[in-house]
Amino acid sequence: MDSATANKQLIDQLPKIAHRPEQLETLLDAASFRERLLHEIAQAKSRIYLVALYLQDDEAGRSILDALYEAKQKNPRLDVKVLVDWHRAQRGLIGAEKSDGNAGLYREYSEKYVHKVDILGVPVRNREVFGVLHLKGFIIDETVIYSGASLNDVYLAQHDRYRYDRYHVIHSKALADSMANFISNTLVASDAVNCLSQPSRPETKALKPAIRNLRARLQSASYSFISQHINEDQVGLTPMVGLGKRKNFLNTQICRLIASAHEELTICTPYFNPPRSVMREIRRALRRGVSITIIVGDKTANDFYIPPDEPFKTISGLPYLYEINLRNFARRNEAAIAKRQLKIHLWKHDNNSFHLKGIWVDRSYMLLTGNNLNPRAWKLDLENAILLHDKHGLLENEAQREIDKILEHTQLIGSYKQIEKLEVYPTQVRTLLKRIKRIRADHLLNQIL
């Protein structure tokens, strides 16, 4: 038995929730996602659990809070919980003046209404740079809306810009219950998790023992559900979670998924900075003849990109660092690009940004995830995913429709020479990157950013 077949068998042995394909809907743009999320919140009967990196103090963020509080006042028994990263919620934007961050907004809303909405901060580590809540999923009654998006103007296409992500609506009581129970039993129940809308909040320093306990629990935590037989008219759903570089179940399954590819592999990531284990499996897939498509954001579609005619900030060097990674990868695999075994697509659409991630394998598996497939996701952040098993090709048209939409604003790279090199970057970027290289800080930056 070859290794790809062996890995496929291991993937097929994962526990699954049986699901009818017509109960999964793919939304194709950010505006549709915003409208659907607000619609589902307004219709909620029993529970609303929203989990995101942040809920921003801007027009879109306030529209979400308005909808949540309106639903809660109309039905006080409605169980409403919003979970965001503890550190991210209590600071301003990078480069902005020091402030109370989004927590000030949460407190403002709490003081206006009789029936409160729980907005909870989850500290994955003592400091944001060493790990954040990157869990995804909006659970409303028996429906899961899964996206890598956070909640603000650009993710929700509130004005004339959007940050492009993937958006799936899955109506499954078993999946919704499993994800909601994980949130309640593992996160909300922890002493490290505190309400962000209260006037006085504990200092992070005082939470250190509780944060250690939470992280220890998360490193061995999993979604709990009863595995079901999958009939010929059904697909399987496997929710997965992972944290940390050792014994990370999600990381293991992602590598195994790539290793199972026999014919086709498609990978989406916002920026090209794969962990070594992922890169190793990509190389092996190329060697065994798999046709690989990689869709990655152009450097100008990175949320840290600053045009050369605007004031330079150190953080704006990141997109160039990722582009150097991509160019080096393309150069090493120029032969595979030339024979079209490896296709690299760069996404760029006006001044919008790209935030997609996901994996499609042999038209049989599709991974929905917020995982950026980078070392930070691999080692530091709390991540999750839903793996769709589609043995009978029931979602093939739906999956292809989404991929076609993603490819709409991409350029196919015919040679590594089409990707800009260091020598043509703006002077300040060149100076920064050369300094980083000289002190060998590029490896460290790739690990934590």
Classify 399 as helix, strand or coil.
helix
* C-alpha dist (Å) from residue 230 to 84, 172, 368: 34, 14, 19
* C-alpha dist (Å) from residue 168 to 27, 139, 153, 163: 6, 12, 19, 16
Classify 283 as helix, strand or coil.
helix
Tokens describing residue 96: 């902005």
Contacts of 394 (CB under 8 A, 6+ apart): 21, 233, 234, 235
The H or E element spanning position 235 is: strand 235-242
Catalytic positions: 134, 165, 355, 383
Burial of residue 299, with CB atoms counted within 10 A of its CB: 0-12 exposed, 13-18 middle, 19 or more buried: buried
Nearest to residue 420, comparing CAs of 313, 298, 306, 293? Answer: 298
Rounded distance, CA 111 to CA 94, Å?
Answer: 27
Angle subtended at Cα 190 by Cα 187 and Cα 196, rounded to the nearest 5 degrees: 75
- β-pairing verdict for 342-347 and 410-413: antiparallel
Nearest to residue 356, comparing CAs of 59, 155, 89? Answer: 155
